[in-house]
Chains A and B, each alone.
Chain A
């Protein structure tokens, strides 16, 4: 499809916030997230001829952002990975009531501690409310793989939130701590 001004403005109005949240979840860097979001829209302008179904603009943008992301990924290599098992035994009962009282930045920081291949399905599940099949299509993996990639990361997220909460960790007011040192790698 050819993108005219109205198409473009509607696509920006409808999806830029969701796309940016997705980008933040991938990059945990606000500057990279802005660039990544903008780059996805640039490709929408220049390469949307690949898009045949108007209904798929949103998933096309998300898929494009996800594919462009590796170029922004280099920062992640600076951080050591820790096995999830190191926090699993510290996981007491976490309830929805407790989560409701926790600062949103703490949850966001915990999410960003999970290594990227497992973080992405979690982001699409929690933040974009995508179905299992939609996540599978976007990541080009079988539905069973999505289930696997949701199961342990969900446990990891709860474990990290629990550890941060129990440890008295408070948000510093920004979801992008400059002194990030850990990234939980799920085996």
Chain B
């Protein structure tokens, strides 16, 4: 790769983003580290980008815009009421499909409490409507939210998942018990970790080593730690799921 080509690539490099993992950028970054001239140019380019970005981000947003957008919702909701029967029909169809999917998962997995739990959680993971009730929170805020909503704030995540971070959470119900769902965004999809009290799954005893399985179409891993059952399910490949643990 020539110096000009490397500069061309590095001009589009966004620091602290996924760009660093792209092979093309990774190669160009390596060259910038090895070539002092290129390295100086890149440092200057980054400084210039930071200066321009700071100037452009400082532009103010008009006051009242948020209120205007929120007020517009009432108008839109009113305008779209005629569509309600259609949406009710769609919702009914989706509910039927989700129920059938859950039934299919149960049928495939058998009827042990663990299999029922795994099947129900796989169904919940596939249901993307109202997927999270709280999102974009830092860890203390997330735990506070879970405390207020009778979830499982004392969950302990495997190191890689903890480092990755969760995007949001929701409390789902399973056989009248509360289960905490923690949702993560992955490069090619998303994964959910469900946390339940071990006492809610009668007769189920697991170790802290993940037990891998497939529930419905989703690869899953289930383990137990400190009186809680953790169930990981994601719309990713089984290998990608294993790499999270």
Binding site for B on A (CB under 8 A): 1-2, 4-10, 12-14, 16-17, 20-21, 24, 30, 34, 37-38, 41-42, 45-46, 52-55, 94-96, 99-100, 102, 104, 107-108, 111, 123, 125-127, 129-134, 143, 146-147, 150-151, 154, 157-158, 175
Contacts and interface: CB of A to CB of B under 8 A. Distances in A.
Contact of B22 (A9, A20, A132, A175): A132
Given A54-B183, A96-B47, A126-B53, A9 B61 contact: no
B112 to A, nearest CB: 31
18 contacts: A1-B131, A5-B73, A8-B73, A10-B136, A16-B65, A21-B61, A96-B50, A104-B55, A107-B55, A108-B56, A126-B52, A126-B53, A127-B57, A129-B14, A131-B19, A132-B22, A146-B12, A147-B11
B40 interface: no
B131 A130 contact: no
Contacts of A157: 52
A17 B56 contact: no
Nearest to B183: A54
Interface of B: 8-9, 11-14, 17-19, 22, 24-25, 44, 47-59, 61-62, 65-66, 68-70, 72-73, 76-77, 80, 91, 128-133, 135-136, 167-168, 183, 185, 190
A133 B69 contact: no
B61 A2 contact: no
Given A54-B168, A55-B185, A99-B51, 7 more contacts: A21-B61, A24-B59, A37-B69, A55-B190, A104-B58, A107-B56, A125-B12
B59 A99 contact: no
Given A107-B56, A125-B14, A34 B65 contact: yes
Contacts, number: 141
Contacts of B50: 96
Contacts of A146: 12
A6 B91 CA distance: 19
Contacts of A126: 49, 52-53, 56-57
Contacts of A99: 48, 51-52, 55
A57 to B, nearest CB: 9
Contacts of B24: 143
B52 A107 contact: yes
B53 to A, nearest CB: 5
A132 B21 CA distance: 11
A10 B18 contact: no
B55 A30 contact: no
Contacts of A143: 22, 24
